Amino acid sequence: MTSSSAAPTVIVVSNFSKPGRGTHVVGKQLARLPSCQVVRFDAMDERGMRGPLITLAALLSLLRLMRRHPAAILLADTAQGLRLARLAMLVMPSRRYVIRYGNVFHPPGPDERGWSRAALKRRLYDGALRRADHVVVPSEAARTSLVNAGVKPASDVTVIPNGRDFPTSHPVSIVEGERPRLRIVGRLDDRKDPRTAIEALAVLRERHGIDPRLDVIGDGPDRDRVAQLARDLGLAGEVVFHGLVANPWAALSPNTVLLHPARYEGFGYVVLEAIAHGVPSVAFAGSGGPEEIIEATGGGLVVAERSAEALAEGIAYLLGDLNALRARAQAAQRVIRTRYGAAAMVEGYDELLRALAEGAGKVRGAS
């Protein structure tokens, strides 16, 4: 984008140092804004400190940086970035603040009220979102949640899907006669709902005559309960727990299908990565980002009813015609690289921040 005005300065508060699936990837891309002067601030640089000391030390460093750039827009990413932004708003309320919020917003729960740690964190998050000049979200579901909750008007929320660089090509490994391999990638907790995937595996064997293996990649508080459920259903030998794996796509068996039964996600990088690697994905309707990615790319199936039976039926449907599945997977790979490439995301942020710096009344994606 070209303009006769000077390039705006943007302080990007993100995760530049800690490897991760979401914010680490996005943060590195946000440092590439072509028509903005980017000043990076690493929100995750802990330097051996823990707890509130991290936020206090980081806040003091951030405030010093903001004073050196008095006209800069602050773009905050990550949970730590939201906390820092809210505290900075109290000290420097006249500055311009943009928040990247990657989740589906939910009202505070019972443990997020009063003076508990969860309540204090929630107040910082809510305060940052409500007081920010603009909020960027990666999906329509995330945007709708903020608007419906009364946190922001629709005009102050822009949807820019997350993006990343993808290798030029990945062979689609779908082979007639090979045993299917199902895969879960992610944190094992109630929101990700891995138990429904285990139950669907049992339904596939009993009702559909399909005998896949299930690879569980990730860890979390529900790991023991998920493993016990597999034993209770007689599936202990068919479910393999791999724990945390640096690259879950390094080795793919033929006929691999990703199961992503999450109850809700702001985006779902796992689904994006799976489709980019030629792995069809199955998610539930109402899941937010995963549903939107699958529908936009055709790289899998969205199951209307949240149940193990419906999930098993969807998997059986996908595996019923491997030739059609292979063609769909290849087409989805092409869509991924254009719609969800890093260049598209960087362009979206660059255009938005430039418009905000120039005082535009309407920005792309707002209504």
pLDDT score of 15: 84
Q: What is the pLDDT of residues 183-209, one digit of tens each?
A: 999 999 999 999 999 999 999 999 999
Name the more confident of 211 and 252. 211
Predicted confidence band at 109 (pLDDT cuts at 50, 70, 90)?
Answer: confident
State yes or no: pLDDT of 358 exceeds 70.
yes
Q: What is the pLDDT of residues 215-262, one digit of tens each?
A: 999 999 999 999 999 999 999 999 999 999 888 888 788 888 999 999
State yes or no: pLDDT of 5 exceeds 70.
no
Cβ atoms of residues 7 and 34 within 8 Å: no
Q: What is the pLDDT of residues 272-296, one digit of tens each?
A: 999 998 899 999 999 999 999 999 9
Count the helices and strands in the chain (H runs, E runs).
12, 12
pLDDT score of 107: 77
pLDDT score of 365: 41
- What does the buried/exposed string (b/e) look like for 309-339 if buried means 16 or more CB atoms within 10 Å of the residue's CB? ebbbbbbbebbeebeebbebbbebbebbbee
Q: What backbone phi and psi angles, to 5 degrees, belong to 12?
A: -95, 110
State yes or no: pLDDT of 47 exceeds 70.
no
pLDDT score of 253: 84
State yes or no: pLDDT of 97 exceeds 50.
yes
- What does the buried/exposed string (b/e) look like for 100-119 if buried means 16 or more CB atoms within 10 Å of the residue's CB? bbbbbbeeeeeebeeeeeeb
What Cα–Cα distance (Å) separates residue 342 from each residue in 32, 78, 171, 326?
10, 18, 21, 25
The pair of structure tokens assigned to 309 is 């039976």
The mean pLDDT value for 166-175 works out to 70
Whole-angstrom distance, CA of residue 267 vs CA of residue 102: 7
State yes or no: pLDDT of 347 exceeds 90.
yes
Name, in order, each residue with C-beta under 8 angstroms of 64's C-beta and a sequence gap of 6 or more.
none
Average pLDDT, the chain: 87
pLDDT score of 197: 96
Q: What is the pLDDT of residues 50-63, one digit of tens each?
A: 556 667 888 999 99
Predicted confidence band at 171 (pLDDT cuts at 50, 70, 90)?
Answer: low
Structural domains of the chain, with CATH? 9-164+342-357 (3.40.50.2000), 181-339 (3.40.50.2000)
Percent of the chain with pLDDT over 90: 60
State yes or no: pLDDT of 127 exceeds 60.
yes
Q: Is the pTM of this model over 0.85?
A: yes
Predicted confidence band at 20 (pLDDT cuts at 50, 70, 90)?
Answer: low
Whole-angstrom distance, CA of residue 48 vs CA of residue 37: 30
pLDDT score of 19: 67
Predicted confidence band at 360 (pLDDT cuts at 50, 70, 90)?
Answer: very low
| Look-up of token digits 């030998």 | 237
Predicted confidence band at 326 (pLDDT cuts at 50, 70, 90)?
Answer: confident
State yes or no: pLDDT of 120 exceeds 90.
no
pLDDT score of 363: 43
pLDDT score of 140: 97
pLDDT score of 95: 94
DSSP 143-189: HHHHHHTTSS-GGGEEE----B---S-------TTPPPEEEEES--S
